[in-house]
């Protein structure tokens, strides 16, 4: 089993320069994670949240590439409907070179309605914009020499992508997906799969089953390391700590559900958790003592999940997980 991290830097509240301190703390966490033996670190992209979430993911990952040597560095995710796909290809290839071939490009359609409104892009166009961007990206990385693309949103004539990435033919491509049609698209196109942190284990396994069936229909083989499942981590050694962790998680889920749903519940993202917030927290977290978490992870492993991303773990939790839990999965 492999373990990585998922999340991003946040400003430190009530600090003189909260962003500077928060970003430095995050960088130190990733450096420490590499020393602890974590396999990867995936970074979010968000805008206009009011919570100080990372907006320039590729910039921060480039800095992290200079501070680390072994840990893989990925995006979870670049929201393609907002970006020029050729610029993403160039920036991703540059990061792959600078990191020594350690970059993973995770992409997605986006789900927060306020972000699409902020960029003046209708969220209803997300799928078509995403799929055309992916066509351009794959063409850019699989065509020798110059290429052209004439689509609905993008037009490029006789262009050449420079630099070329170090990994051949390109960095691994990961798709964040939750809806059945997106899961089938990922399987059909041969992408790795990112499954989100807020769904219960039951929902995650349902989505994994859809993905596996679609792989089989496409004549592809299931690779357990080609599916990464993000999970919140709370190490709780007594009931008081357990209840505090559940309360914190419920608060996070409430914020997520608000971002993922339009006014009046008209459009609801697959990122939105169960409306029973306590159920979603209890049945979706890696929560408990190290032994309890090991038991849960072994159960996941038996279901065919070999790659888990810990969502924004606290520094102590990151260390304890490495020292007391990871050795059970040599």
Domains of the chain: 2-328 (3.20.20.30)
Angle between helices 85-98 and 57-67 (to 10 degrees): 10
Residue 47: pLDDT above 90?
yes
Q: How far is CA 39 from CA 5, 12, 134, in A?
A: 8, 26, 26
Pairwise CA distance, residues 301 & 294, whole Å: 10
pLDDT given at position 272: 63
- Say which DSSP state 268 is in: B
Pairwise CA distance, residues 271 & 248, whole Å: 18
pLDDT given at position 265: 47
HEC string for 41-93: EEECCCCCCCCCCCCCHHHHHHHHHHHCCCCEEEECCEEHHHCCHHHHHHHHH
**pTM for the whole thing?**
0.95
Pair of tokens at residue 96: 């792959």
Residue 149: pLDDT above 70?
yes
Pairwise CA distance, residues 131 & 137, whole Å: 10
pLDDT given at position 257: 82
pLDDT given at position 275: 74
pLDDT given at position 273: 66
The listed range with the strongest mean pLDDT (13-17, 38-42, 247-251, 257-261) is 38-42
Using pLDDT thresholds of 50, 70 and 90, give the confidence band for residue 264: low
Pairwise CA distance, residues 134 & 129, whole Å: 9
The pLDDT of 18-37, averaged and rounded, is 97
pLDDT given at position 268: 60
Residue 159: pLDDT above 50?
yes
Residue 125: pLDDT above 70?
yes
Angle among Cα 100, 102, 104 to the nearest 5 degrees reads 140
Residue 322: pLDDT above 90?
yes
Q: How far is CA 38 from CA 63, 197, 229, 317, in A?
A: 18, 18, 15, 13
Using pLDDT thresholds of 50, 70 and 90, give the confidence band for residue 270: low
pLDDT given at position 263: 54
pLDDT given at position 197: 92
pLDDT in tens, 88-123: 999 999 999 999 999 999 999 999 999 999 999 999
Residue 22: pLDDT above 60?
yes
The pLDDT of 277-297, averaged and rounded, is 95
- Say which DSSP state 325 is in: I
pLDDT given at position 16: 76
Angle between helices 85-98 and 126-142 (to 10 degrees): 50
pLDDT given at position 181: 97
Using pLDDT thresholds of 50, 70 and 90, give the confidence band for residue 214: very high
Q: What stretches of 193-310 show up as alpha helix (H) in DSSP?
A: 201-217, 239-259, 277-282, 290-302
3-state secondary structure of 244: helix
Residue 271: pLDDT above 70?
no
pLDDT given at position 259: 84
The pLDDT of 261-289, averaged and rounded, is 76
Q: Between 257 and 41, name the one with better pLDDT.
A: 41
Prior bond of 163 cis (ω within 30°): yes
Burial letters 220-248, b for 16+ CB under 10 A, else e: eeeeeebbbbbbbbbbbeeeeebeebbee
């Amino acid at each position: 089993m492999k373990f990585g991290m998922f999340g991003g830097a946040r400003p430190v509240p009530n600090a003189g320069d909260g962003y500077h301190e928060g970003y430095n703390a995050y960088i130190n966490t990733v450096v420490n994670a590499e020393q602890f033996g974590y396999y990867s670190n995936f970074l979010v992209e968000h805008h206009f949240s009011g919570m100080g979430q990372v907006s320039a993911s590729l910039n921060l990952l480039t800095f992290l590439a200079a501070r680390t040597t072994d840990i893989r560095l990925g995006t979870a995710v670049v929201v393609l409907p907002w970006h020029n796909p050729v610029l993403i290809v160039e920036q991703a290839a540059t990061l792959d070179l600078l990191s020594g071939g350690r970059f993973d490009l995770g992409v997605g359609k986006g789900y927060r309605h306020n972000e699409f409104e902020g960029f003046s892009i209708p969220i209803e166009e997300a799928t078509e914009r995403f799929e055309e961007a992916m066509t351009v990206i794959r063409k850019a990385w699989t065509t020798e020499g110059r290429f052209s693309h004439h689509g609905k949103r993008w037009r490029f004539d006789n262009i050449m992508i420079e630099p070329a990435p170090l990994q051949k033919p390109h960095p691994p491509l990961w798709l964040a997906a939750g809806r059945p049609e997106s899961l089938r698209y990922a399987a059909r196109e041969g992408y790795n799969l990112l499954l989100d942190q807020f769904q219960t284990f039951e929902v995650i396994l349902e989505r994994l089953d859809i993905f596996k069936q679609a792989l089989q229909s496409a004549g592809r083989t299931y690779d357990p390391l080609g599916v990464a499942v993000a999970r919140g981590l709370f190490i709780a050694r007594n009931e008081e700590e357990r209840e505090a962790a559940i309360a914190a998680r419920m608060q996070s889920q409430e914020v997520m559900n608000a971002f993922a749903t339009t006014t009046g519940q008209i459009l609801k993202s697959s990122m939105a958790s169960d409306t029973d917030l306590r159920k979603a927290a209890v049945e979706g977290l890696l929560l408990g003592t190290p032994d309890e978490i090991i038991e849960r992870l072994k159960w996941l492993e038996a279901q065919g999940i070999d790659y888990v991303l810990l969502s924004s773990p606290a520094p102590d939790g990151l260390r304890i997980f490495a020292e007391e839990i990871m050795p059970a999965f040599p």
